């Protein structure tokens, strides 16, 4: 987009200037950012530099937008000291929180006249660009894996339009976005209020936003001022999770409760948060929910429950989040909260293979609810494609169970659904399919657990060349498979393992369970001491072991389970007798099944069939793009044939088909698909027997 060129150029030139002092800047930024509750050591240094470079550019642009209106000193010709003083004055005069000193200001001393000379072109570019452009540029500058770590994904305009149109009903409605990002929802709310009859200035006074990230506060403030130059947006630089209806009045808001709350909260997972911060916000939300909240919860769950406190009675809430809360154990608290404490009008679930956020494998859902008595009926909308905002709202307001070209609407009572069960299956029409008597749960046949977590795979796994280089004695090594990418079919043989070894892959696991005093004059001791010099012993998992290099002792698994997959379940026979890291799940059959290889193969044949996947759908977690996930406890609940309860001929037939499947997968994709077709047919025949 040509309009972005000048702004991108300004950011890139700032980045180059800051790179010369990267170490000092990064140390300063990390000291400031740790206050936000994130594990900042995980954030890459270049990501921090891009963020602060972007922040510098935005702050310069915001200053220029209000410079004449507030009779502020002109940016042109200011020295560094004068520039910093000008920003302090701008904040004091305007009281815009976007101009409040933050970690961005730590780098103003590096802003020279050459950079400021690029400012006017950047301002013109911003004035010409659509509302989402600042957020789009941020997404271009910050790598997706880093934004995923921080949980930052900006809402596409059609989705924001629908959510705002549903939530904002009256021309006097006040609207809060507790995690503003680039301001997409508030800009849509501005348009919505104008359509209802408000002037731009009046509408802007009804918009409220909060964000802990000064970049987000800057983006939103600039986007609003571009449309309402005389406005003074109520955009707070604060941690919403630490705010309360009592404190917001002292922080800059002129109200404590809102008619509408519309939000795309951060999707940050719990392990990206500092333990102390996670505990603090969990206790706040537990007091509001009236029950314990899992410390494994992603941060969006806290936003969801906490936002309820800021709604007026009858106020409307629209949240777009991952659908995982409807399936994961940590979502139980939210499922119970919605069913017992809110009037949930509708839950809109995106299709399994549809991505609400481009490139992000997160299956999304939109929850539409009000503060009031629990709903007797909630509409469950499962989308096949995205309709217009008007079509979707009309379907929800009609409250009819029916099929549309773009999806299906059905109704249920959340109060009558057990919150400890998964909610995604309730979007499907109930079936009366009978389950044959020879079916059982996989848990009655096998135990499933995660593979071995080393805490430092690069140290604990070695290639043949590394074993030779360090001279590690073979008695302290075990064969291992490091991930699903090395599983090329439905069985993993010794030959497969040897091929990986010959290719230079890491196929050995350090397996030493002796104390250092027992290892005198050994090469493995030298390798362990090398790890200590490199700080491997101080990592989280290693530092919590009795002896840091003692990985957990396990039996060799009978099979592996790929726990992130598309399409069918995938179980792989471990013919090689190797261990697995926690990038795979391990299957341990009970003695009765394990003692009969025909039974083992029959079970594996069934589990790799399409009918098995269909029956497992009730326990799967489904993400965007059709990606599925099975955790060990969920996998143990997968319906499975009991090989000892079916006729011998069926058992032998399935075992033979499994052998054929293994061979076919090594020959060609076409051969594999042909055997799978036969396997699916035979499994369906078996399941149809009485």
The pLDDT mean for the chain works out to 85
Tokens 């271009």 belong to: 140
DSSP 406-471: TEEEEEE-GGGS-TTS-SGGGGSPP--PPPPTTEEEGGGTEEEEE-B--S-HHHHEE-HHHHHHHT
- Look at residue 147 in the predicted model and tell me its pLDDT: 43
Q: Which residues contact 76 (CB under 8 A, 6 or more apart)?
A: 116
User: In this predicted structure, which of 115-119, 221-225, 264-268, 653-657 has the lowest mean pLDDT?
Assistant: 115-119
pLDDT at 128 over 60: no
Q: Which of 231, 197, 206, 182 is nearest to 66 (CA)?
A: 231
Q: Residue 415 and residue 418: Cα distance in Å, rounded?
A: 8
Torsion of CA 462, 465, 471, 472, to 10 degrees: 20
Structural domains of the chain, with CATH = 2-129 (no CATH), 149-427 (3.40.50.150), 446-510+549-687 (3.90.220)
Q: What is the mean pLDDT of residues 405-429?
A: 88
Taking only the tens place, the pLDDT of each residue in 175-218 is: 999 999 889 999 999 999 999 999 999 999 999 999 998 988 99
pLDDT at 228 over 70: yes
Going through 132-201 in order, the beta strands assigned E by DSSP cover: 175-177
> Is the pLDDT at 78 greater than 70, yes or no?
no
Q: b or e along 642-668 (b: 16 or more beta carbons within 10 Å of the residue's beta carbon)?
A: bbeebeeebbebbbebbebbbebbeee
Taking only the tens place, the pLDDT of each residue in 298-307 is 899 999 999 9
- Whole-angstrom distance, CA of residue 501 vs CA of residue 482: 12
Long-range (24+ apart) CB contacts under 8 A made by 227-232 are 227/187, 227/190, 227/200, 228/190, 228/200, 228/201, 228/203, 228/204, 229/65, 229/69, 230/69, 230/201, 231/200, 231/201, 231/204, 231/205, 232/94, 232/95, 232/96
* Alpha-carbon span 579 to 509, nearest angstrom: 8
User: What DSSP character marks residue 485?
Assistant: G
Model pTM?
0.68
Q: How far is CA 95 from CA 139, 175, 182, 588, in A?
A: 28, 20, 20, 63
CA dihedral (580, 585, 590, 596) in degrees, to 10, reads -70
Instruction: Please list the residues that pair with 113 across neighbouring strands.
Output: none
Burial class (CB in 10 A: 0-12, 13-18, 19+), 434: exposed
Q: Which region holds residue 48: left if phi is over 0, alpha if psi is between -120 and 50, else beta?
A: alpha
For residue 52, what pLDDT is reported?
81
Nearest Cα residue to 64 out of 17, 115, 7, 124: 124
Of residues 358 and 83, more confidently modeled = 83
Catalogue the E-assigned strands of 72-174: none
Percent of the chain with pLDDT over 70: 85
- Alpha carbons 448 and 385: distance in angstroms, whole number: 36
pLDDT in tens, 27-76: 777 776 666 665 556 667 777 788 888 888 788 888 888 888 888 887 76
How buried is residue 632: exposed, middle or buried, by Cβ count under 10 Å (0-12/13-18/19+)?
middle
Cross-sheet strand order for the sheet of 491-492: 446-450, 585-589, 559-561, 571-574, 491-492
pLDDT of amino acid 362: 67
Main-chain dihedrals φ then ψ at residue 252, nearest 5 degrees: 130, -10
Residue whose entry in the numeric block shows the structure tokens 């926690």 = 582
Cα separation, 192 vs 241, in Å, equals 27
Quick: pLDDT tens for 597-628: 999 999 999 999 999 998 888 787 776 656 78
Q: What angle do CA 368, 374, 380 make, to 5 degrees?
A: 40
* CA–CA dist 556, 494 (Å, integer): 14
Q: Which tens digit of pLDDT belongs to each residue from 649-674?
A: 999 999 999 999 999 999 999 999 99
Distance of CA 105 to the CA centre of its chain: 30
CB 484 within 8 A of CB 672: no
Separation of alpha carbons 72 and 61, rounded Å: 14
pLDDT for position 31: 72
* Tally of CB atoms within 10 A around 292: 10
CA dist 343 and 372 (Å) reads 6
CA 587 – CA 447 distance, rounded (Å): 6
């Amino acid at each position: 987009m040509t309009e972005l060129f000048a702004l991108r150029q300004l950011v890139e030139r700032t980045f180059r200037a800051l790179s010369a002092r990267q170490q000092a800047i990064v140390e300063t930024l990390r000291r400031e950012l740790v206050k936000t509750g994130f594990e900042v050591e995980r954030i890459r240094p270049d990501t921090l530099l891009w963020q602060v470079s972007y922040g510098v550019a935005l702050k310069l642009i915001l200053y220029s937008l209000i410079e004449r209106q507030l009779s502020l000193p002109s940016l042109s010709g200011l020295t560094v000291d004068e520039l910093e003083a000008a920003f302090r004055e701008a904040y004091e005069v305007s009281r815009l929180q976007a101009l409040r000193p933050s970690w961005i200001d730590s780098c103003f001393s590096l802003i020279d006249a050459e950079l400021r000379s690029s400012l006017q072109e950047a301002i013109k570019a911003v004035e010409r660009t659509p509302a989402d452009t600042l957020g789009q540029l941020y997404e271009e500058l910050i790598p997706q894996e880093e934004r995923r770590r921080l949980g930052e994904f900006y809402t596409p305009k059609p989705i924001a339009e629908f959510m705002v149109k549903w939530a904002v009903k009256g021309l006097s409605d006040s609207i809060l976005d507790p995690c503003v990002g680039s301001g997409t929802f508030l800009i849509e709310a501005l348009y919505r209020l104008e359509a209802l009859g408000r002037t731009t200035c009046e509408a802007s006074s009804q918009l409220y936003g909060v964000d802990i990230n000064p970049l987000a506060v800057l983006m939103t403030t600039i986007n609003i001022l571009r449309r309402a130059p005389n406005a003074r947006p109520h955009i707070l630089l604060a941690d919403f999770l630490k705010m309360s209806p009592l404190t917001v009045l002292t922080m800059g808001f002129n109200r404590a409760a809102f008619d509408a709350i519309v939000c795309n909260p951060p999707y940050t997972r719990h392990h990206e948060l500092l333990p102390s911060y996670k505990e603090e916000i969990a206790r706040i939300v537990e007091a509001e929910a009236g029950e314990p909240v899992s410390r494994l919860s992603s941060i969006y769950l806290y936003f969801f429950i906490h936002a309820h406190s800021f709604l007026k009675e009858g106020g409307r809430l629209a949240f777009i989040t991952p659908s995982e809360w409807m399936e994961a154990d940590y979502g139980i608290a939210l499922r119970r909260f919605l069913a017992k404490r809110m009037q949930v009008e509708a839950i809109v679930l995106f299709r399994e293979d549809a991505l609400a956020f481009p490139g992000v494998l997160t299956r999304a859902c939109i929850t539409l609810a009000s503060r009031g008595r629990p709903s007797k009926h909630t509409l469950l909308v499962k989308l096949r494609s995205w309709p217009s905002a008007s079509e979707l709202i009309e379907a929800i307001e009609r409250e009819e169970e029916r099929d549309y070209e773009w999806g299906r609407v059905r109704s249920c009572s959340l109060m009558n659904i057990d919150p400890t069960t998964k909610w995604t299956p309730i979007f499907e029409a109930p079936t009366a399919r009978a389950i044959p008597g020879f079916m059982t749960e996989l848990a009655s046949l096998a135990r499933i657990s995660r593979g071995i977590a080393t805490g430092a795979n690069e140290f604990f796994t070695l290639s043949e060349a590394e074993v030779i280089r360090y001279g590690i004695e073979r008695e302290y090594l075990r064969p291992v498979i490091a991930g699903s990418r090395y599983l090329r079919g439905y069985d993993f043989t010794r030959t497969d393992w040897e091929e990986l070894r010959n290719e230079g892959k890491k196929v050995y696991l350090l397996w030493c369970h002796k104390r250092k005093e027992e290892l005198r004059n050994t090469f493995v001791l030298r390798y362990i001491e090398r790890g200590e010099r490199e700080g491997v012993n101080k990592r989280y998992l290693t530092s919590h072991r009795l002896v840091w290099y003692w990985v957990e002792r396990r039996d060799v698994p009978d099979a592996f389970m790929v726990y992130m997959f598309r399409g069918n379940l995938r179980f792989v026979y471990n013919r090689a007798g190797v261990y697995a890291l926690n990038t795979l799940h391990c299957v341990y059959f009970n003695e009765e099944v394990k003692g009969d290889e025909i039974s083992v193969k029959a079970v594996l044949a069934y589990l790799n069939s399409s009918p098995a996947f269909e029956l497992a759908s009730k326990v799967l977690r489904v993400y965007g793009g059709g990606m599925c996930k099975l955790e060990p406890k969920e996998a143990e609940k997968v319906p499975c044939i009991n090989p000892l309860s079916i006729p011998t001929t069926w058992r032998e037939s399935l075992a033979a088909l499994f052998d054929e499947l293994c061979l076919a997968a090594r020959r060609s994709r076409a051969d594999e698909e042909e055997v799978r077709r036969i396997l699916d047919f035979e499994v369906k025949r078996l399941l149809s027997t009485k």
